[in-house]
Structure 1
């Protein structure tokens, strides 16, 4: 517990500053996203290779990292030189095509299926999704919107844990998360939405979100944050691992910390677009 507290005390202020700093198109946040992408893809690859029986090779290891890191760097160059507004979407699609081509070229048509699944998961989950965090930050009010996402995502996880610990009675409904309780899920779902609404009322107009948008964001995060945690739990259990890695003392790996955020962020971004917040 002490190591968990120490790591959190160091990580949270650093993350707050990195998200807030906006010089050179939020390059500090991009560096953080690059690190998250590299470490996350490394963790995910190591877990998935155990599940699918993938043999380590230099190409396989490199191909789990390179397209995603190239995506992030190319996207930054696109924004830095104020290229086409749809440029990032084209870049995402281009590197996705590269993942397919490289996988088929490297492993052949017969044995490429499982490799393609692993590489696509690494590319989308640990590169495209983190990239969206940086894209949101490029907006004038972006840092507030990211704070809101991170706060609600981690709050939902904490509420589920504490409510489940003290009030949970109905457990074992989900095979891969037998310790999670129905009471924890329901309680965290309701409270996250209520707190999202309360934050909007308390912080308007600084939050840049209306009441409806805030409640909708709370709803989406309450749905997808637990799903992100559940998906990672399934992968870890199938791989026979307790944590995705030991990179963050007391917390596990970067995927253990950011799993709820990563699955929530694309849907959060779509919500912001639908409501014309960004």
Structure 2
């Protein structure tokens, strides 16, 4: 009971950290979420290099990796500050916003990287080979997903920023409902060699449950018609599948170096990578996709 309480409290605090600046940004057309994305990326980079110490490969590039993350996010952080100090100039962001094809190329590269990482989940062998070059791997996981998410969020207006909520909600709904259905009805392991506690029943329950909750939210917030209902179900199902793959990949990575958690910054949850593993596979992919088709 104590463990469940600790997990619930810190889970709620985590969601507050994510959604409080999000609400501000939607209401004020700001970009405070960039601070959250930057913090998560820095902590994720730190955890990944600490994880590499458990492998048989030596990596001494954590400081350059952290500096690279800071340099990559700096234009976005300047744009965030410009809300409060309008005199700030940001020619880098202007250059990128005028050349959106760069974003789409990186987005396509990310999708390919996610496909490759998803394939690695089902390999019988360990995947600790990624730590041969932790700096390079870190670029694809978690830097590129978080940067694409932050860059896209920065370029959109308040109405488009709301779309991110449609992407994030199914992730947390799926996680919670998969856990509940797994505890109540779980009998058949999903992929026992990777994550023995995950069950097919939990996966199906989380996916269907997330879609039904999102449909209910749509019904009360509108517009509710066949087109929007099918769209929200499609997004929810795809988010649940990608979220599960993201969670399984993180489990595979940790199992390859025989550790339980990526870190210990969040009692009851582990590290930041343990909390954002699903987001890394879902949020940047679906957010950009929905913006493209909306």
TM over 0.5, yes or no? yes
Residue among 139, 144, 147 paired with 1:123: 139
Kindly provide the CA deviation profile for residues 149-202 of structure 1, in whole angstroms up to 9, marking residues without a partner as x. 222101101111111111011126431111111111122122222322332222
CA distance in 1, matches of 2:157, 2:230: 20
> For residues 177-196 of structure 1, what are the structure 2 equivalents within 5 Å?
177-196=195-214
Instruction: Name 2:64's counterpart in structure 1.
Output: 63
Residue among 136, 139, 149 paired with 2:153: 136
Is the CA contact (8 Å cut-off) linking 2:163 and 2:290 kept in structure 1? no
Matched residues, number: 253
Report the aligned-residue RMSD. Answer: 3.0
Alignment partner of 1:29 is 2:29: no
Instruction: Name 2:165's counterpart in structure 1.
Output: 147
Residue among 6, 16, 31 paired with 1:13: 16
Which moved further from structure 2: 237-246 or 75-84?
75-84
Is the CA contact (8 Å cut-off) linking 2:29 and 2:157 kept in structure 1? no
Kindly provide the CA deviation profile for residues 88-131 of structure 1, in whole angstroms up to 9, marking residues without a partner as x. 764896xx9xxxxxxxxxxxxxxxx9667422321222222122
How far 1:259 moved relative to its partner? 1.1
Instruction: Name 1:47's counterpart in structure 2.
Output: 51
Q: 1:48 to 1:139 in 2, by over 3 A?
A: farther
Is the CA contact (8 Å cut-off) linking 1:48 and 1:235 kept in structure 2? no
SS at match of 2:196: coil
CA distance in 2, matches of 1:21, 1:244: 30
Is the CA contact (8 Å cut-off) linking 2:186 and 2:199 kept in structure 1? yes
State the TM-score, normalized to the length of structure 2: 0.75
Is the CA contact (8 Å cut-off) linking 2:189 and 2:198 kept in structure 1? yes
- Structure 2: stretches of 5+ with no match in the other structure: 81-89, 110-128
SS at match of 2:32: helix
Instruction: Name 1:108's counterpart in structure 2.
Output: none
SS at match of 1:213: helix
How far 1:254 moved relative to its partner? 0.8
Is the CA contact (8 Å cut-off) linking 2:28 and 2:158 kept in structure 1? no
CA distance in 2, matches of 1:203, 1:77: 34
CA distance in 1, matches of 2:37, 2:157: 17
- Structure 1: stretches of 5+ with no match in the other structure: 97-112
How far 1:27 moved relative to its partner? 4.0
CA distance in 1, matches of 2:190, 2:201: 12
How far 1:248 moved relative to its partner? 1.2
CA distance in 1, matches of 2:148, 2:190: 34
Q: 1:148 to 1:269 in 2, by over 3 A?
A: closer
CA distance in 1, matches of 2:29, 2:64: 28
Instruction: Name 1:259's counterpart in structure 2.
Output: 277
CA distance in 2, matches of 1:172, 1:210: 31
Q: 1:166 to 1:29 in 2, by over 3 A?
A: same
Is the CA contact (8 Å cut-off) linking 1:136 and 1:145 kept in structure 2? no
State the TM-score, normalized to the length of structure 1: 0.79
